[in-house]
Every structure is written in structure tokens, then in C-alpha cells.
Chains A and B, each alone.
Chain A
Amino acid sequence: MSVTLASAESTPFEIAQAETPADTHETPADTHAAQPAGEVHTETGVAHGGEHASGVFPPFDQTTFASQLLWLAITFGLFYLLMSKVVIPRIGGILETRHDRIAQDLDEASRLKAEADAAIASYEQELAAARAKGNAIAATARDEAKAKADAERAKIEASLQDKIAGAETRIAEIKAKALADVGTIAEETTAAVVEQLIGAKASKAEIASAVKSAAGE
């Protein structure tokens, strides 16, 4: 076993290992003779057992230090290399992609929200414009209708006025005619009455003047 090291370099545990000097000669022989790994393993295992029994606590067994340091350097170096070249870029890439994707989705969402806001704003605007236009149309229609109604009324009033005037003229005519007829009737009646009373015919002129004077009074 590794006592070769112990004999080569002075260590605090040399005393503990010093009692197995026979191993020093055995070890090279073992390594050469028992090349199959399994057998070597058993041999060394036994050797270790003996050493342990001699009082060296295994983790403080300095003979194993060189080998452990070498293999730690190799394995941890490999671990670090694989970590920094393969694993970390890989996981970092995944996280980066996810982060980008989330940021992109958030951007997309805010863009869509802005679009929706703009659509709502333009809708409101159009609605207000439409309302204003509707009001304007209604006002125009009302004004037109009012003007038309006024014109109609004026026309009807005018025609009524005409009719009234016509009617009044006719009435006046009829009245005049009637009045004229009244004179004639009065003269005839007067002539008849006079004839009955005096038995003689009065002249037309006398009767007319008499009626006229009576009507004048």
C-alpha cells in the first residue's frame, strides 16, 4: 500500500505506519503480480484494514491525499469545464428564451391594448360625429318642415282671404241688387196701394220720388 510515500516523506503518521514496513516490499510485488483490478482491490482493502487497525483514521490517512487531490483536480476540472461550456449556456439559453418570450408577449399585449384603446377612441369620435350630424339633419328637417308649413299656411290664408274678399263682394252685390229690388218692389207696392186708395194711377216718376223720399227719411 501507499506506505511508499510515508517512507519517502516524513509525516506525523509515520509512526503509525512504521509498524507495517513489510508492506513496503510487498506493494510493488502486489501491483505487478496482481494486475487484475479486482484482486488488487481486495489486497489493498486488506492492507487498509490493517492500517486502520493501527490507528489511522481513514479521512486523515495522508497516503491517500495525493491520489485524491489528483482525481479531484481531474474530475472537478472536467465538471467545471462541462458546466461552463455546456450546461450553463444551455440553461441560461432556456431562461433567456423564456424571458424574451414573456417580454415579447407583454409587448404584444400592450400593443394590442393600445390598438384597442385607439379603436375605442375612434369609435367614440365617430359616434360623436354621427350624433352631431344627426342633430344637424334633424334641425334642418325641422326648419324645412317649419318653413314649408309656414308657406302652406300663408298660401292657405291668402287663398282664404281671396275667397273672403270674393264672398264679401258677392254679398255686397247681392245686397245692392236686393236693395235695388227693394226700391222697385216699394214703387210697385206703392203704385198698387195708391191705385187701390185713389183709384187712379200715379205716375211712375211721382211714385219713385215719393219712395225715395220715404226711404231717405
Chain B
Amino acid sequence: MSNDPTHQFLVNKIVPIEIGGIDFSFTNASLFMVATVAAGIGFLYFTTGQRGLVPSRMQSVSEMSYEFIASMLREGAGSHGMKFFPFVFSLFMFVLTANMLGMVPYFFTVTSQIIVTFALAMLVIGTVVVYGFYKHGFGFLKLFVPSGVPGALLPLVISIEVISFLSRPISLSIRLFANMLAGHITLKVFAGFVTSLSALGAVGVAGAILPLLMTVALTGLEFLVSFLQAYVFAVLTCMYLNDAVHPGGH
């Protein structure tokens, strides 16, 4: 069963909790969510402990990630969007830390669960919708009406805009989930080839070199994907928040 590539995504109960007939157990997924919080906050907190005017290497990493997201949000949603900075920075760091922790062998990847990425995506879209209506009232609906479109085309354009808006949480969540899932399965499959081939004797050991090299290369690629997906998630969040801040500003 350990060679089953989907085994790594199994959610196992650690402390069973059941409230009103619904299962709220503390699982390995929950454990790694807690680990993500601890690692993410811990890193940012302890590396900035010295508050150095001239930063140490690790402090630079924290500062760079801060400024990276800050400039991304400023470019994406303007200075009015900066009130969402804690939200976007939290999302980015949470996804990034969860992805990176998932790269450790035997660790559970929180973001490989569709429900987790979907919940995060809905949180983003929910924030956009709630803030958009709170700030602009029905003016928020201008989001679906691009300016300068001839009246005859308006129904078509509006329906396209509405569909694209509705597909956002789906694409946002599936992108992250599918990337993490596929990457981990591929890694597991290639690593599985190494063990099963090397069990076949001398020829098998020689043949296992290729999948081993693939595993090493894929591991590097997966680290890149882990960062990239966190980045993409944050960039798209910034773009969507821009719609909430400037609904007419296409």
C-alpha cells in the first residue's frame, strides 16, 4: 500500500472529534495546518527578532517576502488595495509554507486537498464580493459591464463576464490543488520505479538510475512549482481584489 501514489493524500484521524454527528476530528491534515502556521509565523517572527538595521540573511528573506507581496499588491490593486495586505500576505505565506512543508518526505501536503484550496479561493472571492458591495453598493456590478461596448453586444459581454467571474474560485482552487497533487503523484510514481526496479537484481538496479535521476530533477521542479503556485495564487488574489477596489477600472 505504501507504493500506492495516492496513499500520501489519505486523511487519518489523530484525535477523533464528533459534534452533532459531523466529524471534526483532528487529523494529519489538521496537524500539518498547525505545522504550517507554526513554521510560517515562527520563521517570520524569529528571523526578525533582532530588528537589525542591516538585516541578516534570514531577516532579508522575511523582509523580501514582505516587500514582494507589498509591491505585488500595490501594482495589482493600487494603494487603496493595501488594506488587504495582511490578508494577501497571510494567503501567500500559508500556501507557500504548506507547499514547502509538503515537499518533506512523509509530510502531508495541506494544499493537495481540493477542499482546502477551494475554501481559500472562496475566502478570496467572498472578500472581493463582500468588500465590493460594501464599498460601492450596486456600483460593484459595473464590474460586469465593460465601458465602451456597443449596446447590442452588451448582453453577450455581460454573460461572459459573469461566467468568468463565477469560474474564478474554481480555477483558483483547482490550479493550486491539481499542481500539488499531480506533482506529488509523479514524484511518488518515479520514486516507486526506483524501489521496484532495484528489487529485480543487478539489471534492475542499473535500470533504476534513470527514474532516480528523474526523481531528483522532479524534486527540484516541485520546489519551483511550490513557490510558483503560491505566487500565482497571490497574484490572482491581488487582481481579484483590484476588481473590488476599482470595479469600473478595467
Contact = CB atoms under 8 A, between A and B. Distances in A.
Which among B24, B45, B52, B67 has the highest number of chain A CB atoms within 10 Å?
B24
Interface string A188-203: 0000000000000000
B228 interface: no
Size class of A's contact patch? 35 or more
Interface stretch (B5-13, B133-141, B193-201, B208-216): B5-13
Contacts of B33: 71-72, 74-76
Size class of B's contact patch? 35 or more
Interface in A57-100: 57-61, 63-76, 78-80, 82-84, 86-88, 90-95, 97-98
B9 A58 contact: yes
Contacts of B67: 95
A51 to B, nearest CB: 9
A8 interface: yes
B68 to A, nearest CB: 12
B115 A84 contact: no
B145 interface: no
B205 interface: no
A41 interface: yes
Contact of B119 (A61, A72, A101): A72
A20 interface: no
Interface stretch (A42-50, A111-119, A151-159, A206-214): A42-50
A75 B112 contact: no
Interface in A134-171: none
Nearest to B11: A64
Chain B interface secondary structure, helix, strand, loop or mixed?
helix
A48 B10 contact: yes
B170 interface: no
A146 B230 CA distance: 94
A35 B177 CA distance: 33
A8 B21 contact: yes
A153 B113 CA distance: 119
B153 interface: no
A9 to B, nearest CB: 9
Contacts of A40: 13-16
Contacts of A59: 9, 112-115, 177, 181
Given A71-B30, A82-B37, A84-B90, 7 more contacts: A4-B21, A40-B13, A48-B10, A59-B115, A70-B24, A79-B90, A94-B51
13 contacts: A40-B14, A44-B13, A52-B10, A68-B119, A69-B119, A71-B34, A75-B34, A78-B37, A88-B89, A93-B51, A94-B51, A95-B66, A97-B53
